[in-house]
């Protein structure tokens, strides 16, 4: 597990700024605060990933996801996508 490098946070920041600007969504914080928010989200996601893996019972599933973090993140994205849709 790892957090995004600073350059990648900058890419996310630029993408968010562009997306919100294109639909004229007001961002009630300044650019530096938005970047800090994105970095904090990344930091907390790191903690959540670790907690999820640690909470899994020992066995093949845990070993599989520990050895293949990209698959675990993909599964998390699937769940997040459904949560976005439903909630």
For residues 43 and 80, state if they share a domain: no
Report pLDDT digits (tens) over 40-57: 999 999 999 999 999 999
Which pLDDT does position 1 carry in this prediction? 54
Tokens encoding 7:
């350059």
Q: For position 46, what pLDDT does the model report? A: 92
Does residue 37 sit in the same domain as residue 19? yes
Q: pLDDT tens-digit profile of 25-43?
A: 999 999 999 999 999 999 9
Angle between helices 69-86 and 31-55 (to 10 degrees): 110
Dist CA 36 CA 45 (whole Å): 14
Shared domain check, 73 and 49: no
Contact between residue 69 and residue 62 where contact means Cβ atoms under 8 Å apart? no
Domain residue limits at 66: 57-87
Task: Identify whether residues 51 and 68 lie together within a single domain.
Answer: no
Q: For the chain, what is the domain count?
A: 2
Q: Are residues 79 and 45 in the same domain?
A: no
The answer to whether residues 21 and 1 belong to one domain is: yes
């Amino acid at each position: 597990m790892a957090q995004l490098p600073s350059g990648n946070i900058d890419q996310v920041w630029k993408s968010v700024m562009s997306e919100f600007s294109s639909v004229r969504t007001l961002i009630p914080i300044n650019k530096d605060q938005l970047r800090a928010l994105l970095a904090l989200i990344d930091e907390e996601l790191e903690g959540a990933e670790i907690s999820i893996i640690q909470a899994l019972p020992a066995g093949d599933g845990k070993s599989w996801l520990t050895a293949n973090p990209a698959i675990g993140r993909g599964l998390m994205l699937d769940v997040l996508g459904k949560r976005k849709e439903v909630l």
